[in-house]
Amino acid sequence: MNIECPNCKKKFSNDQFLYHCREYDPQLGVCKFYCPNCSASIDTMVTVGNISLGYVYSTGNSRFSGVIDYQIRDLKVDGTMVSYNGLEYDLESGDA
């Protein structure tokens, strides 16, 4: 299963994608995926079993609107820590 960068259309494995997620916003529950190919930053919501790519609208009350959902079995989320495939990723600092 591959996650496609909405900007450059390059495909990433789930692991690669999570590795490039950081700057988690606890109020919105949204982090940013920094594409290593095109340097775009994509607003991303990671929840249990799901990665959602979309946009944060910042007019009025900020809110996240998902555009594409990827259902990923075995994706676990605990606060800013995501575990998948035996590895842990920190959505805040980007450390894996």
β pairing state of 63-71 and 76-78: unpaired
By the rule CB under 5 A, 5 interacts with Zn ion: yes
By the rule CB under 5 A, 85 interacts with Zn ion: no
Name 1's Cβ contacts closer than 8 Å, sequence gap at least 6.
13, 14, 70, 72
Q: Which stretch binds Zn ion (CB under 5 A): 18-26, 34-42, 50-58, 62-70?
A: 34-42
By the rule CB under 5 A, 38 interacts with Zn ion: yes
Q: How many residues bind Zn ion (CB under 5 A)?
A: 7
Q: Are 2 and 11 in contact (CB under 8 A)?
A: yes
Tokens representing residue 39 in the block: 């340097």
By the rule CB under 5 A, 8 interacts with Zn ion: yes
Q: Which stretch binds Zn ion (CB under 5 A): 6-14, 64-72, 76-84, 87-95?
A: 6-14
Phi, psi of 68 (to 5 degrees): -130, 135
Q: Which residues bind Zn ion (CB under 5 A)?
A: 5, 7-8, 35, 37-38, 40
